Structure 1
Amino acid sequence: MTAGDRYLKRLNDGRRVWLNGEIVPDLPSHPAFRGTVRSVAGILDLQDDPVTSRELTFTTNTGARANLAYLIPTEKEDIFRRSRSYRIWSDATFGVMSRVSGFYRAQLTGWYINRELIRSEQPHFPEKLARYYTHLRDNDLLITAAGHDPQIDRTKLASELGELYTALRIVRETEDGIVVRGAKMIATGGPYMDEIMVSPHSKKTQEEQRYAVMFAISPSHPGVHLICRESFASDNQEDHPLSSRYDEMDAVLVFDDALIPWERVFIKDDPDAIWKIRSDQLVSALSLHENIARLVSKLEFVAAVGTELAASIGITKFAHVQEKLAELYFQLESVQALLLSAEHRSKLHPLGVWVPEMQPILTAKNLGNRYYPRALEILQQLSGAGMLQVPSTLAELNGPLGPQLQNVYRGADRNAEDRVKLLKLAWELTGSGLGARHELYERFYAGDPVRTYAGQYVEYDKQPLLDKVGKRIG
């Protein structure tokens, strides 16, 4: 049985995934999930492929083969090994599936490396985290996370909303664990992941201690419901090349007095400890490294589509078109250069691991939430109304009006079928429900852009700049 087969088998474990008001009885066969989970299974099978296995996996101290996102980078070359692995996984989905290639596995690895950071505050954290990391690593499990509170009244703390069924909180403790109630947003990929890490993504106050809890569950955990957004998936791969294979479902987790065993409870009633481990620079650098590798794949894909769009209608000779295409290339090369800079400037951490340089990674991340929406705008400008003038299905090119349509839809350098396929692909990226979701995702997945930019200002080492000015005017 291949890694992909094992993954598909794991999905029918009684998880309560709600879509259109009903529980999905069989994820691998359901139209809203079938294409996506098969894509995930196909990517997992790359780990068994003799050609790609060495680039994607390593042998652990227990003798298991594990994904390179779980590798402890004790050598500088390990940073490049991890990067190559991320690119293979990201390229397999053109960068449009963000929770498969390893962001949260890399984050978990960072927590494992720096697990002693909060021992004084949370004595059991290191051992629990180590066991959890080893379990996921050796069983090749996929993990996502949910950490945002429901957006009800953002002028109030979660604790000020009363005893409504709102933000996740601890309602009582037992000998077996904690009982939690409420909801967490947004578990991207949650319906078809193996594990979900639950913890606040923003700092909680001391008044919100019962909301300051960090634990892990499987999607089938008793008392947990996954409420899906509307599906953007399609059964028609010919007319919907992306949404038929890569609709990365988002879900809200609702906890109905769910009992979380103590072994899975990493931190409770400690806002400062959670924030300390979540904002640790080592953890951020290792996990965001994957994020930027995926962004390179995505920008590369958009640049390729833009280049083909221009060529298909013979407009590449115009200066204003060349300017727009060059902007796509600038985006790609800038982010790729920042990724390489972060890798080559990696430093040896006092814990004995190599860590990518943080500032290039932060810069690439912050540029990404502006670059990607602009890249989609360029695709729209290059196509004009072309994306809206394609036939409803590709099959019409071979229907009763086929001979006429073959002439109407042909391009400057390609036949009608190839041009319609390209336009449908471009529409998936820029105008479809899937495309709109991705634009929103790239804008906000890392948080409020205003805060992330301000955060980079706060963390940036400004003293060398001030020293240079001081030498000139001093």
Structure 2
Amino acid sequence: MGARTGQDYLDSIRKNQPEVYFNGVRIEDITTHPAFTGPIETIMDQYDLQHDPRMRDICLYESPTTGDLVSTSFMVAKSREDVVKKRRHFKVRADQHFGLMGRVPDFMNAFVLAWNFQADHYAKTNAKYGENARRYYEYCRENDLFLTHVLVNPQIDRSRTSANQEDPYLHLGRVRETEDGIIVRGAKMLGTMAALTEELLVTPFGGVAPGDDAYALVFAIPSNTKGVKFICRESFSPGDRAHFDHPLSTRFEEMDCVAVFDDVLVPWDRIVVDGSPGSAAVVNGSPLDPRSSVIVQTSSRQLASLELLCGVAQRVSEAIGITGFLHIQEKLGQMLVQLEQVKTAYFAADAMAVEGPDGDWIPYMGGVMASHFQAGAIHTQFVDIIHTLAGGGFFYAPSKGDFDNVELRGYIDKYVRGAPGHSAEERVSLFKLAWDLTGDAFGQRVRQYVKFYSGDPVRNVAGLYLGYDKRELSKVVDRALTGRSAPVPVAPATIAPPAPPPEAEKALTLSYPAASHPTAPAVGRG
């Protein structure tokens, strides 16, 4: 089939409806429900974008197996030009939604590309599982499917491992195996956009605790598989909102869901890790392969959102005539400093890319990973600056209905306008955009989502420290201690290919209280 259009996606999701519950009611047709029409249109735009004549050469490439044109996000980079093409592809798609949607198709495309690279690892316990991983990547590539994933266990009792919960199937776990596959039961969060997807990928995130092999499950199934239910949170963009009043949330609201698995059958050909004894070691030993460019996709989204935040701060300041004040210039300048640092790290990913021993090209991960781990803090800082710049102006913004009222319009044009050259409609539209982005429920969800996008930010940075190759830094200290006789190293012309990472000094601490570690699995194969 190859790269699809927006209409192809709409026809598919209408035909293959997941079991979705919203506000206590099962949705019969997700494609016509007012809470979902905006994001569905955005996903359709994502698919149509890859066929835009201006973007076609960036967003598509020829499938190595069928010759059909498929999404560039599935591509294995074989040259620096390929690395650049993938980066451009991710940025084009991020710019379409201003980096405000974390679960658009290209993210999961890169995620399943990682499965392709990790297939040999998954084959260690069973050769067919490695083949399943590779085949699933090709299936998604050739059919251009829209996926989401669920990674995290429900926050029920986080002081205990999965096997030690009061009910062994609160967290998604293996119940038994059958001739056709394995039966799984429990729940996972956070199914972002699950209600609008065609496929659901399951994998544990953050590691699997000792004794929790039965919860070390990695598989992918259709989102409408029997027994899978998605329970949606409250919408942050009710369908009756006007675009003028809510220009972002009406288009980019990403619904989050709890995924419930009610004795779901996972076929053998959809399993990558099956929850049998030893599965935890397989999951814990499978870090994301950098060749997949997942972090480059994520960084593209981060850069797009920071560009919007900086632009909004600038335009809001201009609209009310405050850009001449020194302290305002300092705040706007600080945002630009951060933006340029993120941008430099972002472009370094392909500028400093290297060819691996197998001929695959690897983007430089150091800079984008560092920016990624700072994304939450930078986003929060930018939001706080915009709130300071706008002050009470957020609440001095009539609605579209007020602008449409001929009796009020003259007063609004006179008293709600901005600095010279900025009409009331322009000033209000800018402030509504800023509030939707930073203050309304939609903006607050984005802020929280960015902060915890990759899990616990403390754990992430600690993990980077433990896994970082600190030997070169130690040599610098040795030279300083040695004195003049220490030879000065020759500065490299380019960055060296990545060496095998050193063994981590020790495991992350405080993952689970020691008293909660089980002595035996609570869930088995029976």
The answer to whether the superposition gives a TM-score over 0.5 is yes
For 1:92-113, what per-residue CA distance to the aligned partner results, in whole angstroms no more than 9, with x for missing partners?
0111011115222112112203
Which residue in the other structure is 2:458 paired with?
450
2:10 equivalent to 1:3? no
Which residue in the other structure is 1:336 paired with?
343
CA distance in 1, matches of 2:404, 2:344: 43
From 264, 270, 284, the equivalent of 1:275 is 284
Which residue in the other structure is 1:403 paired with?
410
TM-score between both structures, scaled by the size of structure 2: 0.87
From 161, 177, 183, the equivalent of 2:181 is 177
CA distance in 2, matches of 1:122, 1:292: 34
Which deviates more, 303-312 or 226-235?
A: 226-235
CA distance in 1, matches of 2:385, 2:186: 42
Which residue in the other structure is 2:252 paired with?
246
1:6 alignment partner AA: D
Q: CA deviation at 1:394?
A: 5.3
Distance change (3 Å), C-alpha of 1:260 and 1:101: closer
- Number of residues paired by the alignment? 472
Q: Is the 8 A contact 2:17 2:30 kept in 1?
A: no
CA distance in 1, matches of 2:93, 2:5: 14
Q: CA deviation at 1:9?
A: 1.1
Q: CA deviation at 1:401?
A: 1.5
For 1:143-192, what per-residue CA distance to the aligned partner results, in whole angstroms no more than 9, with x for missing partners?
22101001011111110013355100011110011111100000111111
2:157 equivalent to 1:153? yes
CA distance in 2, matches of 1:87, 1:313: 31
CA distance in 1, matches of 2:403, 2:208: 56
From 303, 328, 331, the equivalent of 1:321 is 328
Q: How does 1:84-99 map to 2 (within 5 A)?
A: 84-99=88-103
Which residue in the other structure is 1:392 paired with?
399
CA distance in 2, matches of 1:456, 1:210: 28
For 1:308-332, what per-residue CA distance to the aligned partner results, in whole angstroms no more than 9, with x for missing partners?
0000001001111011111221221
CA distance in 2, matches of 1:320, 1:163: 56
TM-score between both structures, scaled by the size of structure 1: 0.96
Which residue in the other structure is 1:223 paired with?
227
2:55 equivalent to 1:48? no
From 211, 216, 225, the equivalent of 1:212 is 216
1:43 alignment partner AA: Q
Q: How does 1:194-205 map to 2 (within 5 A)?
A: 194-205=198-209
CA distance in 2, matches of 1:110, 1:322: 43
- With a CA cutoff of 8 Å and minimum separation of 6, indicate the structure with the bigger relative contact order: 2
For 1:356-408, what per-residue CA distance to the aligned partner results, in whole angstroms no more than 9, with x for missing partners?
12211210111111100111111101100101111133543643121011111
From 290, 296, 308, the equivalent of 1:301 is 308
CA distance in 2, matches of 1:280, 1:46: 28
User: What secondary structure sits across from 1:207 in the alignment?
Assistant: coil
CA distance in 1, matches of 2:186, 2:478: 54
Greater helix proportion: 1
Q: CA deviation at 1:436?
A: 0.7
Q: CA deviation at 1:342?
A: 2.0
CA distance in 2, matches of 1:404, 1:222: 58
Which residue in the other structure is 1:382 paired with?
389
2:113 equivalent to 1:106? no
CA distance in 2, matches of 1:465, 1:128: 41
Q: Is the 8 A contact 1:66 1:138 kept in 2?
A: yes
Which deviates more, 61-70 or 83-92?
A: 61-70
From 363, 370, 377, the equivalent of 2:377 is 370
CA distance in 2, matches of 1:286, 1:42: 23
Root mean square deviation, CA, Å: 1.6
CA distance in 2, matches of 1:261, 1:111: 18
Which residue in the other structure is 2:424 paired with?
416
1:382 alignment partner AA: L
Which residue in the other structure is 2:433 paired with?
425
2:448 equivalent to 1:440? yes
CA distance in 1, matches of 2:209, 2:237: 40
User: What secondary structure sits across from 1:14 in the alignment?
Assistant: coil
Q: CA deviation at 1:351?
A: 2.9
Distance change (3 Å), C-alpha of 1:456 and 1:322: same
User: What secondary structure sits across from 2:249 in the alignment?
Assistant: coil
Larger radius of gyration: 2
1:3 alignment partner AA: T
Q: Show structure 2 runs of 5+ residues with no match.
A: 483-526
2:478 equivalent to 1:470? yes
CA distance in 1, matches of 2:253, 2:288: 31
Q: Is the 8 A contact 2:71 2:144 kept in 1?
A: yes
Q: Identity over the aligned pairs, expressed in percent?
A: 34
User: What secondary structure sits across from 2:260 in the alignment?
Assistant: strand
Distance change (3 Å), C-alpha of 1:261 and 1:401: same
Distance change (3 Å), C-alpha of 1:411 and 1:345: same
Which residue in the other structure is 1:28 paired with?
31
Q: Show structure 1 runs of 5+ residues with no match.
A: none
Q: Is the 8 A contact 1:234 1:240 kept in 2?
A: no
CA distance in 1, matches of 2:362, 2:27: 41
For 1:423-453, what per-residue CA distance to the aligned partner results, in whole angstroms no more than 9, with x for missing partners?
1111101111101100100111111111111
Q: How does 1:109-120 map to 2 (within 5 A)?
A: 109-120=113-124
